[in-house]
Structures are given as C-alpha cells and as structure tokens.
C-alpha cells in the first residue's frame, strides 16, 4: 500500500511539472503562432484578391457569417476586385482552413489552402504543385468557376477528386460552395 502511494505521488509530481512546463511553453509560443497565422492570412488574401497588394482589403461582418473581406485596387476603396471568404471544413483527419476569392458575378477568382493536416501523400495533395506548374493543381481547378457550378466530378461537376482522398476533396469543394452561396445570399 505504501508503494502505491509513493508511485502515485511521484506520478502526480511529474505530471504537475510537465503541465506547468507545457503552460509556460504555450505562453511563450502563442504570440508567435498568432503572428504566423496572420502572415499566412495576409499572403492568402493577396493571392485570392490579386491586385489588392497596392490597394486595400477591408474586413467585413454579416449576420450569419463570421467575416469576409472586400478587396480594392486603390487605397481609396475604388475599383472593387472582389470578396475573400475564409472557409473551414472537416477533412479526413483535420480541419481544413481555406480562403476563397470571389468576384461580384459569383465566379471564383482563386483558392488558397491556409491550413491542413490531412494524411501525408493523400489528403496533403490538395497543396501539391505538379512539376512544370506554378500553382497547386487541385486549387487551380476552382479558378473561374461559377459558384453554383462548383462540384466534384463524381457529382457531375468539373473538380477532379484527389486520388485516395475523396473526403478531403469533398470537404473543400462542399465548404467552398456552401459558404460562397451563403455569402451571396446575405449580401
């Protein structure tokens, strides 16, 4: 009995020290993580709203949507480029954060995966750039599509699934379509 109490005490002590250490590390790294996420978002906004690098991007809010962004060619908010909509979807093994750029006619300007932790070699191909290409092939398929027409090839659309990663493909495609349709219905 005395041995069990001794082991429990040691285990509790080690667990407490580990928890404190993790808390300190989290306090130190949290601002850096937030900064990196903001930098990734800014880079993504410039990618899905081309031309806004020298203009401006304004965060907007609507009822029913957390937020979206409007992009302009000029700092005085003239020459509207389009909307940027952050989208989250549950993939096979992670939450996939995507940014979709939309023009005022409901066409997709561009798509950028901001974060994913899908299965290496399968779901991660949503960010794969094939040899000789400059953009990820899966994301490039969305470019120029009319939002109501966004669908996977297995559902009659033009978006080709990632081989072996149908759940990832469907998660991104469905979330982009549903969120974009919702945005335009509320504007």
Q: What's the pLDDT tens digit per position in 121-163?
A: 888 899 999 999 999 999 999 999 999 999 999 999 899 999 8
3-state secondary structure of 156: coil
Instruction: Tell me if 2 is assigned to some domain.
Output: no
For residues 116 and 30, give the distance between their C-alpha atoms in angstroms, rounded to a whole number: 19
Instruction: Tell me if 132 is assigned to some domain.
Output: yes
Nearest to 99 by CA among 117, 115, 78: 115
pTM: 0.81
The number of distinct structural domains making up the chain is 1
Instruction: Tell me if 38 is assigned to some domain.
Output: no
* Residue 114, domain extent: 43-186
Instruction: Tell me if 72 is assigned to some domain.
Output: yes
Instruction: Tell me if 12 is assigned to some domain.
Output: no
- pLDDT digits 0-9 by tens, 8-47: 889 999 999 999 999 999 999 999 988 998 888 989 999 9
Answer for the pair 162, 123: CB distance below 8 angstroms, yes or no.
yes
Instruction: Tell me if 31 is assigned to some domain.
Output: no
Instruction: Tell me if 5 is assigned to some domain.
Output: no
């Amino acid at each position: 009995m005395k041995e069990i109490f001794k082991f429990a005490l040691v285990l509790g002590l080690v667990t407490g020290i580990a928890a404190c250490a993790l808390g300190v590390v989290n306090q130190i790294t949290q601002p850096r993580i937030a900064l990196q996420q903001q930098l990734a978002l800014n880079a993504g906004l410039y990618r899905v709203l081309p031309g806004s690098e020298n203009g401006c991007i304004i965060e907007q809010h609507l009822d029913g949507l957390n937020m979206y962004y409007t992009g302009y060619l000029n700092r005085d908010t003239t020459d509207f480029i389009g909307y940027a909509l952050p989208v989250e979807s549950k993939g096979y093994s992670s939450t996939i954060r995507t940014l979709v750029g939309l023009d005022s006619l409901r066409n997709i300007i561009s798509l950028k995966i901001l974060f994913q932790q899908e299965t290496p070699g399968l779901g991660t191909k949503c960010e794969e750039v094939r040899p000789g290409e400059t953009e990820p092939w899966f994301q490039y398929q969305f470019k120029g599509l009319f939002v109501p027409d966004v669908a996977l090839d297995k559902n009659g659309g033009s978006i080709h699934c990632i081989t072996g990663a149908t759940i990832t493909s469907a998660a991104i495609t469905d979330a982009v379509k549903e969120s974009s349709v919702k945005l335009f219905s509320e504007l």
